[in-house]
Amino acid sequence: MTAVPRLPDQLAFPMPGTTAFDEAIALARKGVLRFGPQKGGGWLDRDLNETPHGLVGGKTGQGKSVALSIVLFYAMLLPDVYEVIVCDPKRTDFTWTPEFPSVVHFAATDTEIVDAVARAKRRMDAGQTLLNKLQVRKLSWLREKYAADPELEKAHGPVPRRLILFFDELADFLAKGANSDVEELKDEARANLESIARLGRAIEVNIVAAAQKPDAKIISTQLRSQLGFRLGVGPLDQYESQQILNSDHGTRFPEEGTPKGRSWAYDPKNGYRQVQVMFLPDDSMVCPWDASIMLTGSKELARDRLIELGFAQTSITNSDGGIEPRWIRVENDDAWPSIDVPTNAEHDSESSDTKPELDFGAGLGDQELNDSDDVDPWNQ
């Protein structure tokens, strides 16, 4: 009898130049997000094409934010493939994200988030209109059609990039408040979220939501039922496990001694799987379990990649008078327009941070990744 491979207690995200890194980035180009090794062998690869929307939950300090940062990292590293709308009602872990070109909008207050969700809905509707006009059912098929007839792009514009509606602490936003005017607006956002959850798959508009306690009384049945991918990070009590995983799997980790990042994942195709989420810090730091190793942070890795792509760092002044970094495209070539970055209060990362709504060219289509081939993660 062959023993089941033991999960590592910790594992750093692979660094550029390694085969593991190249494979993860090549998968991300196709909408497949690698989180870490799973028990029994292989990897937990979340396929946005198969299960377009998901929910990540867990107690503070167990690794939930790291799992979410991995999603953002793939998007930041591949600005030709992804764009992201970030909703961060607590303004805690993700206020730094507007620095990067992939993040086209940042929202924190209730009214800003209502507008952000409406933007995602409009983007989905525009994508559906394009599909209807060209009589195809999915963006991946539209890319194939464009490849066969390049004149179509000249006539109809580029295929939209995949859009991730990234929502930290979804339940905090959806919870009922005392302001009736704001609640009326939030009802509109609730309806838009449900619409995106139902229809976003073919148009590649994906919801990545996080919540410590995604109470069924707060998140509607219609929305919860469409959040097909679940990731419960760290030990959970019975109630938390049921709300996040729809099972008691989260209670199987002991409260003491469970490695940070140890998780249960679920999707309809693969069922429940135990996984060790890879560790990827936002900022460079000494490795927590080996002081002889320096881990490069996701921000630094993304900045290095942007320089390779022909971006240059600049800065803006926010509404509080503070200086914030941004990146602009220096060269204007092919499907990548240059971006003029205004220096006004509209771009305050503590309020509503909006970049021009540009349609950029998408990346690779749905080609298969053959492990026996040399992997070029940057191939466009």
Annotated binding site for ATP: 58-65
- Residues 27, 11: Cα–Cα separation, whole Å: 19
Instruction: Compute φ and ψ for 84, nearest 5 degrees.
Output: -135, 135
Residue 282, SS3 per DSSP: coil
Instruction: Tell me which residue of 90, 94, 158, 63 sits closest to 358, measured CA to CA.
Output: 158
Residue 120, SS3 per DSSP: helix
Structure tokens at 115: 């507008």
Per the CB < 8 A criterion, the answer to whether 65 and 300 are in contact is no
To the nearest 10 degrees (0 to 180), the angle between helices 64-77 and 298-308 is 0
Instruction: Tell me which residue of 266, 71, 56 sits closest to 171, measured CA to CA.
Output: 56
Which residues define the annotated binding site?
A: 58-65
Residue with tokens 């909408």: 31
- Rounded to an integer, what is the distance from CA 332 to the centroid of its chain? 27
Burial of 192 (0-12, 13-18, 19+ CB in 10 A): buried
DSSP 99: G
